[in-house]
Structure 1
Amino acid sequence: MNPTNRRVGKPQLLPDVMDMHAHEEGGGEEGAALPSTGEPAGRGAGESLGGAGSPAAAGGKRAPGPAMRALQAVLGFALVVGVSVSVAWAARHYVTHSPRFAVSEIEVRGAKMRPSEALAEEAGIAKGQNVFSVDLDEARARLGKDPWVREVTLARRLPGTVIIQVAEREAVAIVALGDLYLASHTGEIFKRIEPGDPSDLPIITGITPEAVADDRDGVAQSIRRALDLAGDYEHGPLAQRARLQEIHLARDGSTTLVVGGKSPIQLSLGEPPFRKKLDQAVRVMAELDRRGAKAEAIMLDNDTRPDRVVVRMR
């Protein structure tokens, strides 16, 4: 056989080469060489993305976006707040209008100089008033203006009790300042004396209104010193025979006691300390009793010669 007449078969091409030739022979159609996806022909790109579990496959409902979720949260919060406000308003209306919380008792503790009814009235608290409508701060401020009240606390005890706890000032002396005033053990001049106030107290004289206005603390210190002297006298033997009536404070710092009843005796003590002078007064008065003499004044104010005592007879 002539080698030139031998029929040569079409050469076998590898798959990649065949695909390439198919692309060249297809006239440039881009989809001819794409691998098959297994999807039916003609399905759009959007349809091919939707799987069986997608929102579109579940009936066309789409998940709410961020704005919708925020709106839902705001509406939910507003609903909760609205319900809470309504419940709070209803509760407040109930407790402030229910007869169950009407004031049925006003309990006053610690008051001796002021009647309980007067303190309750002064505080602006009355039975039948709603217990929650009582302004405790205002009541405390009003009672604080009472000169007898040193401290005050108020409290509610449900359903209908208001408690007023007071600590009163104690009057231990009367201070003569033109008018008569009461003074406490701290030396505080706290009120003008009125009917019903204690009057069976030592009287402190010699203090002027001008001194109180200029130096209130200094006056309080002088009153405390006078009260200390009064305490020493009351605990000594002289108090058993001659009651203390007056303590006179002179401007130069000297002190004079007026003791006794219908025939009082002046004890001029000069400046402190006073205890030795009071002991000396006891001895002088005992000697006067032995002699049957009556003294009008006993001067124990010679600080340079403390052993020297001058007696002015009646």
Structure 2
Amino acid sequence: MKIRANRRSREPFGRRLRGFVARRYKFVIAAVSLSFLVYGGVEAYDALTTSPRLAVQTIEVTGHGRVSKEEAVELSGIREGENILTINVSEAADNIRGNPWVGDVRVKRTGFASVAIEIKERTPTALIRLDGLYVMDVEGTVFKRAAVEDALYGELPVITGFTETRLKDDPYGLTVRTLELIRILKNRRGFNIGDVSEISVDGALGLSVYTVAEGVRIDVGVEKFGEKLDALEKVLHARGGSFRGIEAVDINNGRGVIVKFTTNTA
């Protein structure tokens, strides 16, 4: 016996029409509601970004030294009275980094009407002679040409023997060695960084320092700086701490301290 498939009954036209109208009505209502929401959002945003209650009243700057507060604020582009929601803090930070003394900076909103600028300045550790005198920080970054207003002449040792190419490639790691020597000298009592006027870098001989007093050359090599300087200290102690009459000192020979005295031609 053949079984006939059930035929799907067709809804009456009136019911189908009412369903169509209902669906269209819901769509129109949703579209209108969305338009009101968008319009309301735009209006609310405009109200917030023009509200006098959100105008910047305080700009706090911390960590500044060589970079003045006024300069940091000027570079940031942030102005008192400006709406705090319209400030681009990333752009403001990038602008402040335009000052070479700024190693890092963070700009953030700290309230409805206040902004904080947190600066981390570079710490100069030496002057370095390339095509002129430049300033090097404790990380080994050469970040600016030295200027009289920096007040670093005579305050920091001068590194010589580098070229821009050698400083960039540095296959022997002499930059790192130089920074290590400076760090050790800074932390020493007795003969220390204040007694050094120049650090000479040589790819074959290593590092040599020149003293402020008497201009004595001291060959220190590229390693075991602390031990070598301790040995030098003993010799200086025996001489009352004086370099007088000494032309050069070699503490990079593996045998101790070798002193070369000046020749009296008088």
Distance between the aligned counterparts of 2:90 and 2:246, measured in 1? 58
Mark the CA change 1:179 to 1:234 in structure 2 (over 3 Å): closer, same or farther. Answer: same
2:210 corresponds to which of 258, 271, 274: 258
Q: TM-score, normalised by structure 2?
A: 0.80
Shift of 1:296: 2.6
- Please name the residue that 1:286 is paired with: 237
Secondary structure of residue in 2 paired with 1:172? strand
Equivalent of residue 77 in structure 2, options 124, 127, 143: 124
Task: Give 1:226's aligned amino acid.
Answer: T
Other structure's SS at 1:201 match: coil
Structure 2 distance, partners of 1:192, 1:160, is: 38
Number of matched pairs: 248
Q: Find the counterpart in structure 2 of residue 206 from structure 1.
A: 161
Q: Which residue of 2 aligns with 1:97?
A: 50
Can you list the C-alpha shifts for 1:117-162, whole angstroms capped at 9, x where unaligned?
A: 1111112111222222222222122223332222222222343222
Cα 1:77–1:255 change in 2 (3 A) is: same
How far, CA to CA, are the matches of 2:48 and 2:225 in structure 1? 64
> Unaligned regions of 5+ residues in structure 2, if any?
1-13
Matches within 5 A, 1:12-27: none
Question: 1:225-270 deviations in whole A, cap 9, x for unaligned?
Answer: 1222233334445427972222111121421111233x23221223
The 8 Å contact of residues 206 and 220 in structure 2, kept in 1 or not, is answered as yes
Separation in structure 1 between the aligned mates of residue 212 and residue 261 of structure 2, nearest angstrom: 16
In the TM superposition, residue 107 of structure 1 has moved relative to its aligned partner by 1.5
Q: TM-score, normalised by structure 1?
A: 0.69
Q: SS where residue 150 of structure 2 aligns?
A: coil
SS at match of 1:65: helix
Which moved further from structure 2: 231-240 or 191-200? 231-240
Measured in 1, the distance between the counterparts of 2:257 and 2:43 equals: 86
Displacement of 1:170: 1.4
Larger Rg: 1
Q: Is the 8 A contact 1:277 1:300 kept in 2?
A: yes
RMSD: 2.9
Please point out which of 161, 185, 193 is paired with 2:146.
193
| Residue aligning to 1:139 | 92
Please name the residue that 1:65 is paired with: 18
C-alpha spacing 1:93/1:297, structure 2 compared with 1 (3 Å): same
- Which range moves more in the overlay, 154-163 or 181-190? 154-163
1:258–1:157 CA distance, 2 compared to 1 (3 A): same
Q: 1:309 to 1:111 in 2, by over 3 A?
A: same
RCO (CA 8 Å, sep 6+): is it higher in 1 or 2? 2
Which residue does 1:276 correspond to in 2?
227
Distance 2:104 2:116 in 1: 14
Identity of aligned residues (%): 25
Q: Is structure 2 residue 265 aligned with structure 1 residue 313?
A: no
Determine if the alignment matches structure 1 residue 228 to structure 2 residue 177: no
CA pair 75-210 structure 1, distance change in 2 beyond 3 A? same
